Amino acid sequence: MRRYSRITGTGSYLPPRRLTNADLVAELATQGVETSDDWIVERTGIRARHFAAPDVCSSDLALEAARKALEAAKLQAHEIDLIIVATSTPDMVFPSSACILQNKLGANGCAAFDVHAVCSGFVYALTVADAMIQNGAASKALVIGAEVFSRILDFKDRTTCVLFGDGAGAVVLEASETPGILATDLHADGKHVGILCVPGHVSGGAVLGDPVLKMDGQAVFKLAVGVLEDAARAVLAKANLTEADIDWLIPHQANIRIMQSTARKLKLPMDKVVVTVDQHGNTSAASIPLALDHAVRAGKVKKGDTLMLEGVGGGFTWGAVLLNF
């Protein structure tokens, strides 16, 4: 009998410090950086973001989200046999945030590693976990996106610092006789490294280069809307389904205009798109599982619904996962 994987629990966590656009505008003004609630809302749809306290790392946010997902799946941490954390803001250069999280959870002994695909990280991690469950390498996986992007922002650059926030989202993915995950599709094109990157690195005990986020927003926008449509069509074709079969589109929460454009191309009304970017900004790898968990807990996404998850981000990377919830 074929083995599939299925999401059996979701969880998410946003750190308590919440800054509305007005709060951020006031804070940036003290440093001579001018922006406005109107500009941020009109161009991005973002109304607030959460920033983690200085001593809080991605694994701490991941821990809170993971505990909620485990509770929803009615599992204990020691029953988990695989942990994948998608993050571009790990606690340390090494070991992985997944290993640090594993110890905090008390799930010691299971396989644990990070996936680094920036804002596509969660769809990459989910695809890897699905493959490992299908081939028998794992049976009960925790797949998490967790980020502290506030650590890599340049608060003098208004074109980027208003866009991002911190948070985590998690799912428990279990082996199942029925799908579950129906199709996955991943891509990358390294020739676009320069349009979205944090070019600094550690060498000889010092940070060399510029360790804050650089983005060519318009180039990212153009690429994102094209590849998100392609990835969606690819997974639909693999699963022999059409746009009409999608109950919920859960795209990477970067910008409402990218989501609207993707929905338009797929001929989906916006009331079939899960939108939470207004509440937490772009949380990179955390944004898809965060949005999924919010929609599940709000009673929107129900068991049996067909979900299209889509990520796009630095690399350039992109991908989609089509699943039966």
User: In the complex, which residue's CB is closest to ligand ACO?
Assistant: 217
Which residue is catalytic, options 21, 110, 252, 324?
Answer: 252
Cβ closer to ligand ACO: 25 or 69? 25
Distance CA 295, CA 273 (A): 10
From 308, 182, 306, select the one nearest 238 (Cα to Cα): 182
Using CA of residue 95, residue 99, residue 104, residue 106, what is the dihedral sign?
A: negative
Q: Least distance (Å) from ligand ACO to the CB of residue 153?
A: 11
From 5, 325, 292, 307, select the one nearest 174 (Cα to Cα): 5
Using CA of residue 34, residue 36, residue 42, residue 44, what is the dihedral sign?
A: positive
* CA dihedral angle for residue 50, residue 143, residue 288, residue 183, rounded to 10 degrees: 180
Active site residue 252: yes
Cβ closer to ligand ACO: 141 or 213? 213
Question: What's the number of CA atoms in the CB half-sphere (13 Å) around residue 75?
Answer: 27
Which residue is catalytic, options 99, 119, 161, 324?
Answer: 119
Active site residue 282: yes
Residues 6+ apart with CB under 8 A from 265: 225, 228, 229
| Contact assessment for residue 237 and residue 266, using Cβ atoms and an 8 Å cutoff | no
Q: Least distance (Å) from ligand ACO to the CB of residue 283?
A: 9
> Hey, is 265 helix, strand or coil?
helix
Q: Least distance (Å) from ligand ACO to the CB of residue 123?
A: 12
Q: Which residues bind ligand ACO (CB under 6 A)?
A: 35-36, 39, 43-44, 118-119, 158-159, 162, 196, 215, 217-218, 220-221, 224, 254-255, 258, 282, 284, 312-314
Q: Least distance (Å) from ligand ACO to the CB of residue 198?
A: 10
**Residues in a beta bridge with 318:** 187, 312
Active site residue 280: no
| Contact assessment for residue 71 and residue 9, using Cβ atoms and an 8 Å cutoff | yes
Q: Least distance (Å) from ligand ACO to the CB of residue 272?
A: 21
Cβ closer to ligand ACO: 276 or 284? 284
Which residue is catalytic, options 161, 282, 294, 324?
Answer: 282
- Which of the residues are catalytic? 119, 252, 282
